[in-house]
Amino acid sequence: MNRTDLAFTPALEQAQLIRNKVVSPLELTELYLARISRFNPTLGSYFTVMTEAAIADARDKTEQLATTPTDELPPFFGVPLSVKDLNPIAGVPCAYGIAAARNRIATRDDGMIAGLRDAGFVILGKTATSQLGSFPYTEAPGFLPARNPWHLGHTPGGSSGGGAAALAAGLCAISQGSDGGGSLRGPAFCCGLVGLKPSRGRVSFAPVGERLEGLASNGPLGRTVADTAAMLDVMSGYVTGDPYWLPPPKTSFLAVTQTDPKPLKIGLLTAVEPIGEATTDCKQPVLDTAHQLATLGHCVEPVSPPDLSELIEPFTVAWQCIVAEANIPFFVLEKMNRWLLLRAWRIRSGQYLRAMTQLQVASRQIVQQFQDYDIVLLPVYLHAAIRIGEWQSLRCEQILANIINWIAPCPPFNASGQPAIALPTGFTASGLPVGVQLVGRPGADDTVLALAAQLERANPQYHHRPPLFATD
């Protein structure tokens, strides 16, 4: 296996290569650090590269490998991982996409960092995000814009765009991200990856707690469904004091990806109201996947599209208020976040509470609308990836409208707390990745992953590599 093949090898396969002593954690880490040094100035996928810490950790793990029985090693022992720059790591800069804070050193670990380390990961660095994670593109002022490895003039999505770009370009083996309105699924869609938003309560927000009315969740970006499932196994679990929680699964999420699910009842839709239909580039993969699901023995039938009329306003209120909650000085914010902050300042406490009540009502209606279906199949976004800077010159009101009209199929399931996965299916005529979204019943992450894995076996996409980055 050459170095490029190794860089694009799925994370679980890398872990097995380490166990078999075909490659060492240090060799893998040095490979990725070399690729980051070479490609990141073009790609803008990392804000911070933890070179010394990563090498020291990988060296320790390589020494440990010589003396530890392989059956005692954690699942991702020695596998290099990237972490989103919204999740602090003690002693490492955490800027939240704010240029003025690029040298701000975190004093604590995010709660999930210990779990990632316990799983054996080597952390390579902090990946780029939009400012405060606010936007579905990753162009924080004062930083290099994150670029799509498949087409450098286009966005890799956001706000986990840096992690998606790094993974798609072979600058890490797997990525951690978060999703408050499509911020894992959108980048996965834009970059030809698998992105999972877990069910609400599946992944803890300890020690800080949840700050976005239950809309957001940390989760994985992977090359394969199995990688994504195995990382969810690592990330999931209740921590005392969590406001939301789910019972642990009966079997591991990785295990459910190894066998086909029973025949499922699947709802099909290609539009959301009041916005309308997906473009042909995003609609056709959904229709093709529906046909494939039927050939695999599942029952697929059209369903009425959800009506977001009652969801858009309260979701926007929550979005605006999280900008205010961050308590960042007005003058360091970018144009769109300043506008959102000004709107938030005009919201009275009673208006906010009414909006959150409306959000709860709309969320329940979404769950009820699809309660007869095991899975809902729909687009991830309504059109393919936009160009970098495409909306910068527009008025803020128009940017907001454009964002809503692009990402509309994702936020409803942040509101409802349902598990949702983005799965790559192929490419547009211009070479941009596209894919589909699978949404499960609340708490049914296992069903979503099992079906996604079945589709992946029928139509694998993880062997594709962006030509510009598929070189030694």
Beta bridge partners of 218: 178
| 197 classed as catalytic | no
Active-site pick, 61, 84, 126, 283 = 84
Residue among 106, 233, 230, 112 nearest 174 (CA)? 230
Phi-psi region of 464 (alpha: psi -120 to 50; beta: other; left: phi over 0): beta
Matching residue, tokens 């911020």 = 183
Q: What are phi and psi of 376, to 5 degrees?
A: -115, 130
Question: Distance between CA 391 and CA 403 in Å, rounded?
Answer: 10
Question: Distance between CA 69 and CA 56 in Å, rounded?
Answer: 21
Active-site pick, 45, 130, 160, 183 = 183
| 178 classed as catalytic | no
Beta bridge partners of 471: none
DSSP character string of 384-408: -PPBTTTTTTS-HHHHHHHHHHHHT
Pairing of strands 375-379, 265-268: parallel
Active-site pick, 159, 175, 363, 416 = 159
Where do runs of H (alpha helix) occur along 245-373? 253-256, 280-295, 312-325, 335-345, 349-369
Using CB atoms within 10 A of its CB, is residue 77 exposed (0-12), middle (13-18) or buried (19+)? buried
| 159 classed as catalytic | yes
Helix axes 312-325, 349-369, angle to 10 degrees: 130
Cβ count within 10 A of residue 291: 11
Positions marked catalytic: 84, 159, 183
